[in-house]
Structure 1
Amino acid sequence: MRFLHKKASMLLETLTTLFDRDLNRVRTELRQYRDEQQIWAVPAGISNSAGNLCLHLIGNLNTYIGAELGQSGYVRQRELEFSLRDVPRPVLLTQLEDTIAIVTRTLTTLDAASLDEEYPLQVFEKKTSTGYLLMHLATHLSYHLGQMNYHRRLVEG
């Protein structure tokens, strides 16, 4: 039993590190746009701007980690994640910093045993464990981070 607890603790520590790393990479991507307006560009063949992807990640992580696991009180407005335009870069960066803080604070206060517990919301077709959902959220973040990197390189040439 002690071995399993240690493995769960290591997984939680790894997830915390990965969320921090990739959220900081989102910040780096946003800062690398030479022209702030390009953050909101939607060239042909692209569905979402980097700005909307950033807002989506902020809403997603604040909902599933902050509100559900950290009891932050965050209320998601998902439709705005994809409809808002021209949010100033400093505002995005501030919201991102707040997201990093709540994700880190929540994950560092979770007990390793909670990874095996049922996640409070049904997000998919059936209920999952908290550990499963956290792994999904980490890969979801990574997926959209890659899209943001591609978007930046595409619009900036």
Structure 2
Amino acid sequence: MFTVTTLSLLDKELEKIQQALSRLTDEDLWKKPREGMNSAGNLCLHLAGNEYHNIVSSIGGAPYARERSAEFLAAGGFTRREVSERLAAVREKSRSVLTRLSEADLTREVTVQYPPEAGIASSQRQTLELLYHVTVHYAYHTGQILYITRLLQEKDEHLLQWRH
């Protein structure tokens, strides 16, 4: 089933992020490669917010509970452990939603709601399309987190099995 594949892919990306977080200090978590860019911590908060918003809230029907701009404005306040736990907690909520979906639910239209102050238009999307979006979005930012981690490491150690 598509939802099992989605969870498997998202879980693999979360494992990569957790590996990267284990290589950073709490201070490094909030270092930005340069001004105007995001830290690994910002990206982790953003991933947790995005996953909750799209899967738990939009698909699962939980109340909207996100301060999107705060994900990018944070400059600390969370440890690596707390960020990792937040990502894992959201994943468990997503798992609960996705394991209850039927094949018919994948074609159901859901509303991706944003508050007016977010500056992003709310939209209707098919569940399947939204899950694809969340998975691709998660993988994209995972790559950024891994790259930032490599930049901040003292030694040139590879985080994954590949040498690039």
TM-score bucket (shorter structure): 0.7 to 0.9
How is 1:120-131 mapped onto 2 (pairs within 5 angstroms)? 120-121=111-112, 127-131=124-128
Q: Which digits, 9 at most, give the CA deviation of each residue in 1:53-78, with x for residues without a partner? A: 00000000011111122233350010
| 1:55 match | 45
Paired residue type of 1:135: Y
Q: Residue 24 of structure 1: CA displacement?
A: 2.5
Partners in 2 of 1:69 and 1:125 — Cα distance?
14
| 2:157 match | none
**Corresponding residue SS for 1:119:** strand
How is 1:4-153 mapped onto 2 (pairs within 5 angstroms)? 10-33=1-24, 35-44=25-34, 47-86=37-76, 87-121=78-112, 127-153=124-150
Q: Residue 38 of structure 1: CA displacement?
A: 0.9
- Name the structure with the higher helix share: 1
* 8 Å contact kept, 1:117–1:130: yes
**Corresponding residue SS for 1:68:** helix
Q: How many residues align?
A: 147
* 8 Å contact kept, 2:109–2:124: yes
**Corresponding residue SS for 2:124:** coil
**Corresponding residue SS for 2:60:** coil
* 8 Å contact kept, 1:70–1:102: no
Q: Pick closer, same or farther for the CA change 1:58–1:126 going to 2, 3 Å.
A: closer
Gaps of 5+ in 2: 114-119, 155-164
* 8 Å contact kept, 1:27–1:96: no
Gaps of 5+ in 1: 1-9
- Name the structure with the higher strand share: 2
Paired residue type of 1:134: L
Q: Residue 20 of structure 1: CA displacement?
A: 1.8
Partners in 2 of 1:47 and 1:64 — Cα distance?
24
